[in-house]
Amino acid sequence: MDFEKWYARFERSVAAILMAGMGVVILLATFSFLRTTVQATLGFGGALDYATFQTLFDRVLAAVIALELAHSVQQMAAGHRGLVQVKTVIIIGVLAVVRKLILLEVESTSGLFLIGVAAAILSLGLVLALTHWVGRTRGDDGGPLPSPGAPAGDRPQAK
């Protein structure tokens, strides 16, 4: 067996292990969200406070980020490279920053930290816009590139 076939098999094995782990993480994040929702619904007779909403949105975004990470691993396992995977990684970054903003206590946060978060949001937005522009310019999403070491028959075809 040559190195390329061995590496392709190794890459698929690692991706399968990562997908199983991400499945567990997604289930845990979903369970945590459901538990928090039930506790918030049954535990309070009146209006929910801001901290409870922060916790609920934190749990939702944790599950969404885990789903996007699993999607990224799935793309890697399928051998898809290019703008599609870049966009997925950028979206994960955007979700992580949004999650941080939801949990942020503005009163106890320095102005320099807020400037850094704003710069991260602006940078991610510009890179996402750039990938959309490149995709439109090329007339597609950039097309998937083959996985390193993928056999010729397993290589994805451009749309």
Would you say residue 37 lies in a domain?
A: yes
> What's the total number of domains in the chain?
1
- Given a cut of 70, whether residue 1 has pLDDT beyond it is no
8 A C-beta contact, residue 89 and residue 72: yes
- 15-60 pLDDT, tens digit per residue, is 889 889 988 988 998 898 888 888 888 876 566 777 778 888 888 8
Tokens representing 152 are: 């010729």
Would you say residue 33 lies in a domain?
A: yes
Would you say residue 155 lies in a domain?
A: no
d(CA 86, CA 64): 17
Would you say residue 76 lies in a domain?
A: yes
Would you say residue 157 lies in a domain?
A: no
Would you say residue 156 lies in a domain?
A: no
- Which is more confidently placed, 66 or 126? 126
Tokens representing 42 are: 């049954």
- Given a cut of 60, whether residue 153 has pLDDT beyond it is no
Tokens representing 26 are: 């997604």
User: What pLDDT was estimated at residue 124?
Assistant: 92
Residue 55 dihedral angles phi and psi, to the nearest 5°: -65, -45
Domain containing 36 equals: 3-147
- Which is more confidently placed, 84 or 141? 84
User: What pLDDT was estimated at residue 123?
Assistant: 94
Helix axes 3-43, 50-77, angle to 10 degrees: 160
User: What pLDDT was estimated at residue 63?
Assistant: 86
Would you say residue 153 lies in a domain?
A: no
Q: What is the dihedral of CA 68, 74, 77, 78, to 10 degrees?
A: -120
Within 8 A by CB and 6+ apart from 120, the residues are: 93, 97
Q: What share of the chain is helix, strand, coil (3-state, %, to 5)?
A: 80, 0, 20
Would you say residue 159 lies in a domain?
A: no
Distance in Å from the first CA to the final CA of the chain:
31
- 86-121 pLDDT, tens digit per residue, is 888 888 898 889 888 888 887 888 989 989 989 999
The neighbour count for residue 150, using CB atoms within 10 Å, is: 20
- Which is more confidently placed, 85 or 80? 85
User: What pLDDT was estimated at residue 112?
Assistant: 92
